[in-house]
């Protein structure tokens, strides 16, 4: 398999790390990135697309959505009738990708997050891959985390907010818990450590548990005890739910707006 990856920054780098940790041979990867100083050992790194090479088996678009129009001309010769094109570009839809890369055998939009480096990313998939291309997509996603095909591309904006942006929202929640505890009197470094360890353990437990998170919360809260008072604060006027819905709505709507902008280019 010849895998050509355009752009290896935060997200592309996390995916490459996940593939290498998952046992894919570094020699099968070529990274094209004009600004990357070093690639993982064994991976070929080029500052520009190689001239005169046959189209790759797999091409990953890993740069910023705004960089697509500049990059198309250099990527296109590497996308042929046998190429599976994977795109992690937020807010760039199938129609835009297909217009830019009409020769691709199959195009799949992939929405991961940075936990792909640890094999712990949710991965939303949508595209026109069938048969071998679909199987190859699933094989490539397996070491990165839990991949799921969406029932339609119309869900991608919301899933980008939930699965792609989600870690940023959780990091802000962890930071807010620690900042709140520090404001209430705990030393900041201790508040940071305890908040992080608590979230790591709570997430690991929830992932293993047969019970839904809402039920787990009920089990933590003893009637008339400590936790319930905190939960009542979160629930007053549906405060937490409304905050989360507004957060996701804002991110989702920006993804939809970016999709329109990319289409218009
Ligand atoms: N950062 C995240 O958590 C997530 C990002 N994404 C998507 O991943 C993509 C990359 O985002 P980040 O990694 O955060 O950005 P980044 O800025 O860290 O990485 C982009 C990389 O692309 C390179 N690049 C720029 N122009 C290029 C070109 N013409 N050819 C090849 N490489 C080029 C840059 O040198 C840089 O290393 C975006 O499209 C974003 O929507 C999706 C899910 C999560
Ligand atoms: O913020 C962004 O646009 C990208 C998409 C999901 C995470 N990062």
Per-residue pLDDT at 109 exceeds 90: yes
pLDDT digits 0-9 by tens, 87-101: 999 999 999 999 999
Residues of the chain with CATH 3.40.50.720: 3-150
CATH topology of domain 3-150: Rossmann fold (3.40.50)
Residues forming a β-bridge with 45: 31
| Contact residues of ligand 2, CB 6 A cut-off | 90, 160, 164-165
Which residue has the CA at smallest separation from atom 36 of ligand 1?
9
The β-bridge relationship of strands 121-127 and 106-111 is antiparallel
Q: Which of 6, 8, 9 to mutate to test the pocket of ligand 1 (most atoms within 8 A of CB)?
A: 9
Identify the pLDDT of residue 214.
97
Q: Is 33 exposed, middle or buried (0-12, 13-18, 19+ CB in 10 A)?
A: buried
In whole angstroms, give the CA distance from residue 133 to residue 256. 27
User: Tell me, what's the ipTM?
Assistant: 0.99
Identify the pLDDT of residue 106.
98
Task: List strand residue ranges (DSSP E) for the chain, in order.
Answer: 3-6, 29-32, 44-46, 58-61, 84-87, 106-111, 121-127, 145-149
Say which residues have a Cβ less than 8 Å from residue 169's Cβ, sequence separation at least 6. 244, 247
pLDDT digits 0-9 by tens, 210-241: 999 999 999 999 999 999 999 999 999 999 99
pLDDT band at 265 (very low <50, low <70, confident <90, very high): confident
Question: How far away, in angstroms, is 220 Cα from ligand 2 center?
Answer: 33
Nearest ligand 1 atom, CA 67: 26
pLDDT digits 0-9 by tens, 3-44: 999 999 999 999 999 999 999 999 999 999 999 999 999 999
Q: Which CATH code for domain 166-256? A: 1.10.3730.10
- Kindly list the distances between the CA atom of residue 43 and the CA atoms of 46, 119, 188, in Å, as whole numbers in the listed order: 10, 19, 41
The β-bridge relationship of strands 84-87 and 106-111 is parallel
State the distance between the two ends of the chain, measured CA to CA, in whole angstroms.
33
231-244 CB burial, b ≥16 within 10 A, e <16 = eeeeeeeeeeeeee
pLDDT band at 151 (very low <50, low <70, confident <90, very high): very high
Identify the pLDDT of residue 30.
98
């Amino acid at each position: 398999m010849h895998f050509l990856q355009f752009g290896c920054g935060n997200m592309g780098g996390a995916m490459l790390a996940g593939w290498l940790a998952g046992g894919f041979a570094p020699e099968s990867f070529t990274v094209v990135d004009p600004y990357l100083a070093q690639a993982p050992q064994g991976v070929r790194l080029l500052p520009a697309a190689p001239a005169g090479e046959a189209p790759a088996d797999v091409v990953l678009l890993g740069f910023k959505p705004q960089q697509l129009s500049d990059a198309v001309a250099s990527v296109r010769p590497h996308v042929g009738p046998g190429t599976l094109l994977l795109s992690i570009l937020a807010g760039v839809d199938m129609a835009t990708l297909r217009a830019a890369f009409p020769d691709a055998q199959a195009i799949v939009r992939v929405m991961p997050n940075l936990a792909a480096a640890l094999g712990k990313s949710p991965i939303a998939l949508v595209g026109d891959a069938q048969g071998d291309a679909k199987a190859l997509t699933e094989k490539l996603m397996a070491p990165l985390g839990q991949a799921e095909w969406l029932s339609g591309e119309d869900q991608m904006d919301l899933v980008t907010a939930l699965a792609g942006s989600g870690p940023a929202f959780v990091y802000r929640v962890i930071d807010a818990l620690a900042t709140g505890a520090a404001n209430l009197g705990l030393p900041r470094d201790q508040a940071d450590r305890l908040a992080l360890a608590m979230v790591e353990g709570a997430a690991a437990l929830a992932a293993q548990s047969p019970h839904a998170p809402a039920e787990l919360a009920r089990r933590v809260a003893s009637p008339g005890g400590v936790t319930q008072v905190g939960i009542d604060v979160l629930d007053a006027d549906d405060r937490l739910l409304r905050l989360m819905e507004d957060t996701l709505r804002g991110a989702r709507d920006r993804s939809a707006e970016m999709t329109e902008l990319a289409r218009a280019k």
